[in-house]
Amino acid sequence: MISKIEIGSIAEELELKVGDKILKVNGKTPLDIIDLSFLMAEEEIELLIEHADGEREIIAFEKDVDEELGAEFESAVFDGVRRCKNHCVFCFVDMIALNMRKTLSIKDDDYRLSFLFGNFITLTNLTAKDFRRIKKYHLSPLFVSIHAMNPELRAKILRTPLGAKINSQLDELERAGVEYHTQVVLCKDLNDGAELDFTIAEILKRRPHAQSLAIVPVGVTKYRRDKFLLNQFDKNSAAKVIEQVELWQQKARADFGRTFIYLGDEFYLLAEKELPPVEFYDDFPQIENGIGMTRNFMKEFGVEKISVKKILTIDVVSGTSFAKILKNLVADNPNVRILPVENKFFGSKVNVSGLLTGGDIIAALKGGERDLILIPATALKAGEEIFLDDVTLDELRKIFAPAQVLPVHDGVEFRKILEGKF
């Protein structure tokens, strides 16, 4: 179903409308945006359209090979998101409140979303047909959740015997010429220590198909109902992980000039260790996974002393883990107040800015006066102005008017706003 028509596009010329459905392209039914892209690569196109009123119409036209339709769709997968059948011991979907919106409860394990948007997949839900399609369209790179390369341990973590097939599944991707990025959700006393060393060593052997390895600490909310014991990292244990992984990182940089193995920012913030330098993150291959996001924000903000617009009193909302970084960036500006917000919705152990809810932000801001409120854009649903608890940005603005409420996307934008350039 079409959700947006670009101005000046072929779709506009054809008088397609929001709400129209594309049923067939040249007689073939596209399963997803990938199929549609290949089908639309032809010069002569015949579309079977179903309009919002149910009427169907065939539209035939010619176009250049590289000319796109110019329409956006409600979903990138037209036949429905592939659901995950695993029961991973740390699945975040199993740790959300029961009354949250239904879309947050969807466990996806869809290779198409991995290729298109960088979603991580376990490979356990792929069929032989899926592997053939990955090879046919050369869907590369993919993003793969490894967690452990010990087959028995991985099956235990994913709670499916299919988890033990990780080596053969990676072999199949490699035979298809597919590159992939990998991640490990690290749990204290489960897949750390010697198991982590084994996982790193095995993934390194799979270069160059394996492009990177991200290691992120497990997060647990107060809504977790699973009886499987999960231990989280504290300051000392996080520091030990950093020391352990640094040895592998040094070896990787010496052997092939890239760090390759990257730790989630939370490890450094939790251990109160200095973040690695920018060059250590290479080209930030997993920044959307929280790898190097803090260092990149600091780089974008810059090192020059900032001159904040003096007439403004600014409150900057942040998760508790990132607040210290922000305080250092604006240390010389008393009219800028960094407000670490405790995550009461998910639990105080959840300390990242991206999981802050509108309700917790409202509670933390009440009772104060300010001219401007800055909130992390990562706390809002991608492409929409709504928090995880369904509070909207507009509601927040109404509550705190006349103060302006602005989402901040990166360090460059943060600096410009503080300087009054907004």
| 3 state DSSP class of 5 | strand
Class of domain 2-73: mainly beta
What confidence tens digit (pLDDT) does each residue in 115-156 have?
A: 999 999 999 999 999 999 999 999 999 999 999 999 999 999
Cα gap 251→256, rounded to integer Å? 9
Per-residue pLDDT, averaged over 63-70, amounts to: 89
What confidence tens digit (pLDDT) does each residue in 346-392 have?
A: 999 899 999 999 999 999 999 888 999 999 999 998 878 999 999 99
Whole-structure pTM value? 0.90
Query: DSSP characters for 143-158?
Result: EEE-S-SSHHHHHHHH
State the chain's mean pLDDT as an integer.
93
pLDDT at 309: 66
What confidence tens digit (pLDDT) does each residue in 81-115 have?
A: 999 999 999 998 889 888 787 777 788 999 999 99
Q: Which amino acid makes up residue 354? A: G
What confidence tens digit (pLDDT) does each residue in 165-180 have?
A: 999 999 999 999 999 9
Per-residue pLDDT, averaged over 313-319, amounts to: 94
- Contacts of 270-274 with CB under 8 Å at 24 or more apart are 270/217, 270/233, 270/234, 270/235, 270/238, 270/321, 271/235, 271/236, 271/238, 271/239, 271/242, 272/235, 273/239, 273/242
What confidence tens digit (pLDDT) does each residue in 388-404 have?
A: 999 999 999 999 999 99
Q: Model confidence at 21, in pLDDT bands (50, 70, 90)?
A: very high
Burial label for 272, CB within 10 Å (0-12, 13-18, 19+), is exposed
Per-residue pLDDT, averaged over 284-298, amounts to: 94
**Quick one: fold of 304-418?**
Rossmann fold (3.40.50)
Q: What percent of the chain has pLDDT over 90?
A: 85
Domain extent listing, the chain: 2-73, 92-298, 304-418
pLDDT at 421: 84
pLDDT of 306 higher than 80: no
| 3 state DSSP class of 307 | coil
Q: Are 213 and 147 in contact (CB under 8 A)?
A: no
Q: Model confidence at 310, in pLDDT bands (50, 70, 90)?
A: low
What confidence tens digit (pLDDT) does each residue in 227-237 have?
A: 999 999 999 99
Per-residue pLDDT, averaged over 59-86, amounts to: 92
